[in-house]
Amino acid sequence: MSDARKVDTTDYLQFARRVIRAAGERCADADPFDLGELITLRDSIEAAIGAAVAGQRAQGFSWTEVGDGLGISRQAAQQRYGERASA
């Protein structure tokens, strides 16, 4: 992967963090329905992580590398995001 892509991805994820934080701040001034909508982001984020793991595995990254990226063990990454977990 090129250095340019790594920087672009990092910048993009920092942008996403700012947007999610801002959504929380907006919901703080809204009603409980909006709070429920904010919680649905959790499912979207988990699906995004699953897609990212599948993509990295398809590129040939090992479960150890994926686990390191997630801050968990190889075994935990494989159990959570492996084929059997997806089925």
Query: Average of pLDDT values for 60-79?
Result: 97
Higher pLDDT, 86 or 8: 8
Residue position matching structure tokens 């590398």: 65
Q: Cα separation of 53 and 66, whole Å?
A: 7
How crowded is residue 68: how many other Cβ atoms within 10 Å of its Cβ?
14
Residue 7: band (very low, low, confident or very high) from pLDDT cuts 50, 70, 90: low
Domain ranges of the chain: 3-86
Higher pLDDT, 35 or 85: 35
How crowded is residue 77: how many other Cβ atoms within 10 Å of its Cβ?
23
pLDDT in tens, 15-50: 999 999 999 999 999 999 999 999 999 999 999 999
